[in-house]
Amino acid sequence: MAENKTTTTGENNLLLVENLSVTVRNSGKKLIQNLNFSIPKGEIFGLVGESGSGKSLTATVILGMLSKSLEVTSGTVKLGQSEITSLSEKELRNIRGHDSAYLSQNYQSFFTPFIKVGKQFIEIIRCHTNMSRKEAKKVAIHWLNRVHLPAERVFNSYPDELSGGQLQRASIASAIMFRPKLIIADEPTTALDVLTGERILDLLCELKEELNCSILLISHDLRHIINRTQTVGVMYGGQIVEIGKTSAVVADPIHPYTNLLLQSRLKLSNQPPLELQTMLGEPGLIAEEGCPFSKRCPSVMKSCSNLVPMNSIGTHHSAACHLVKAEREERYVTH
Ligand code: SF4
């Protein structure tokens, strides 16, 4: 298999995922296959793909929160100096919150509804430190201010007295107050209106600079990924089918799935498109053999029923598609 140049073992990596595979215990059903990617310190890596492609499951493995019904059958997940897949539950609890933090789309369920937000902050802080209540309140107010909330008012409010955007900001404050090295933001804007969602993503980028942390930004929406990430991995059927510097993938997508995702973005234009670009087949239709996208691919060919290795296109761009070879040959002839 060609080396995937976007995955390196360099010392600058905060997160290194190598050959990760996850299956359903006792059934052998593969949910994630041979994932390889890395996130350097201080960078944002985007993981994009439709529901069920394995994005959130990947996050679950990195957090060490895989359900007992699933198992890691191969590979490693290294966060800093820690090999996540081999840690005990107690060691993982120390890592979560300190080394890694999770932001979910279900921010409404992040806070217990009948307890004031401030009290919940104090409990979390005192659970991880030996601060007094007074000191913990100071920390909570600092971070609520830091995410641009009216800190005292939010601190003294019940969760249902806050808007969706305010609740998501409060959950961000809670996630970052121990200065994690890696923030996993899993569809953080899904339940928000477009403008509020954009502001939340801008806030995350701003905090990344301040905390000098890395972010794994998971989204089904390429618009969120394109302008905010340095590197992107496109997932389909539990596999990364294209990976590279975001600018290279967007400018020159090779995998037909990436291409279709890019074409189906809404664009501002004086001339509305005559027809919307759609994808063949139902979401989640995955071929068992060969290329997982072959049942929906407009460019499918005979060889696609064979295993497709990850092929390098350039120094920082790879795709698991037989078209890579055709593309290379075309470039060779043209130049
Ligand atoms: Fe399409 Fe074949 Fe490429 Fe898969 S390997 S994306 S089926 S052309």
Q: Within a domain: residue 135?
A: no
Look at residue 307 in the predicted model and tell me its pLDDT: 80
Q: What is the CA radius of gyration of the chain?
A: 21
Q: What is the 3-state secondary structure (H, E, C) of 192-247?
A: CCHHHHHHHHHHHHHHHHHHCCEEEEEECCHHHHHCCCCEEEEEECCEEEEEEEHH
Q: Within a domain: residue 124?
A: no
How many Å lie between the centroid of ligand 1 and the Cα of residue 300? Answer: 5
Whether 256 lines ligand 1, by a CB cut-off of 6 Å, is yes
Whether 308 lines ligand 1, by a CB cut-off of 6 Å, is yes
Total of domains in the chain: 1
How many Å lie between the centroid of ligand 1 and the Cα of residue 51? Answer: 20
**Residue closest by Cα to atom 5 of ligand 1:** 321
Neighbours of 311 (CB within 10 A): 20
Q: Within a domain: residue 197?
A: yes
Q: What are the pLDDT digits (tens) for 228-268?
A: 999 999 999 999 999 999 999 999 999 999 999 888 765 65
E strands, 64-113, where?
Answer: 70-79, 82-83, 100-103
Whether 73 lines ligand 1, by a CB cut-off of 6 Å, is no
Q: What are the pLDDT digits (tens) for 18-48?
A: 999 999 998 889 999 999 999 999 999 999 9
Q: What mean pLDDT, rounded, does the chain reach?
A: 88
Look at residue 274 in the predicted model and tell me its pLDDT: 58
Q: Within a domain: residue 70?
A: yes
Whether 297 lines ligand 1, by a CB cut-off of 6 Å, is yes
Q: Within a domain: residue 161?
A: no
**What is the atom index within ligand 1 of the atom nearest the CA of 303?**
2
Whether 48 lines ligand 1, by a CB cut-off of 6 Å, is no
HSE-CB at 209 with a 13 A cutoff on CA atoms is: 7
Q: Which residues contact residue 107 at a Cβ distance below 8 angstroms, ignoring those fewer than 6 apart? A: 164, 167, 168, 171, 188, 191
**What is the atom index within ligand 1 of the atom nearest the CA of 255?**
6
Residue pair 21/54 in contact by the 8 Å Cβ criterion? no
Whether 291 lines ligand 1, by a CB cut-off of 6 Å, is yes
**82 bridge partner residues:** 79
**What is the atom index within ligand 1 of the atom nearest the CA of 298?**
1
Bridging pattern class, strands 317-319 and 239-245: antiparallel
How many Å lie between the centroid of ligand 1 and the Cα of residue 194? Answer: 33
Chunked in runs of 10, what are the mean pLDDT values of the chain (335 residues)?
A: 48 92 92 95 95 94 95 96 93 88 84 95 93 96 95 96 92 93 92 86 92 94 89 96 95 92 70 64 81 92 86 87 73 48
Look at residue 3 in the predicted model and tell me its pLDDT: 41
Bridging pattern class, strands 70-79 and 13-24: antiparallel
Residue pair 20/32 in contact by the 8 Å Cβ criterion? yes
Look at residue 96 in the predicted model and tell me its pLDDT: 86
86: domain CATH number is: 3.40.50.300
How many Å lie between the centroid of ligand 1 and the Cα of residue 70? Answer: 28
Whether 320 lines ligand 1, by a CB cut-off of 6 Å, is no
How many Å lie between the centroid of ligand 1 and the Cα of residue 255? Answer: 7
Q: Within a domain: residue 160?
A: no
Whether 319 lines ligand 1, by a CB cut-off of 6 Å, is no
**What is the atom index within ligand 1 of the atom nearest the CA of 294?**
7
Domain range enclosing 197: 2-99+180-236
Look at residue 324 in the predicted model and tell me its pLDDT: 82
Residue to probe by mutation, ligand 1, list 257, 303, 308, most atoms within 8 Å of CB = 308
